[in-house]
Amino acid sequence: MSREATYPVGPMLLTFLAGAAVGAVVVALSTPKSGPELRGDLKDMANRGKRKAGELADDACEAWEDLKDRTELAAGELKGQASVAVEDLKARAALAAQDLKRGAANAAKDLRA
């Protein structure tokens, strides 16, 4: 039996974003610029990172709500299907019990005769 390895997306995404941030800082610090210009670039990068993190958080919230809604819908459908299956089994069990009862009654008549 083959099992596929699954990796959580969250830690991979955070690792990627951290690497990208470190790379951006290294590039910014290694580029020859004046102090105020470098501080302005770092501030801009921080603001972009903050904005991007907010967008990712919003996307994650939307994805979570979508998953929650789909899960609730699927659970409701499964509950309905389970109810139908239970009722079907009850009906079949009742019929089987009646057949068994008739068969036992016929067997008892045959034994008396």
- Domain boundaries, given as residue ranges, for the chain: 9-112
Choice between 74 and 52, residue whose per-residue pLDDT is larger? 74
Give the tens place of pLDDT for each residue, 78-97: 999 999 999 999 999 999 99
Q: What is the pLDDT of residue 85?
A: 95
Give the tens place of pLDDT for each residue, 19-51: 888 887 787 777 787 878 878 887 888 898 889
Q: Which amino acid is at 3?
A: R
- In this structure, are residues 11 and 18 in contact, taking their beta carbons and an 8 Å threshold? no
Q: What is the pLDDT of residue 74?
A: 95
Q: Which amino acid is at 9?
A: V
Residues 6+ apart with CB under 8 A from 45: 21, 24, 25, 28
Instruction: Give the DSSP letter of residue 6.
Output: -
Instruction: Give the DSSP letter of residue 32.
Output: -
Burial annotation 50-84 (CB, 10 A radius, 16+ → b, else e):
eeeeeeeeeeeeeeeeeeeeeeeeeeeeeeeeeee
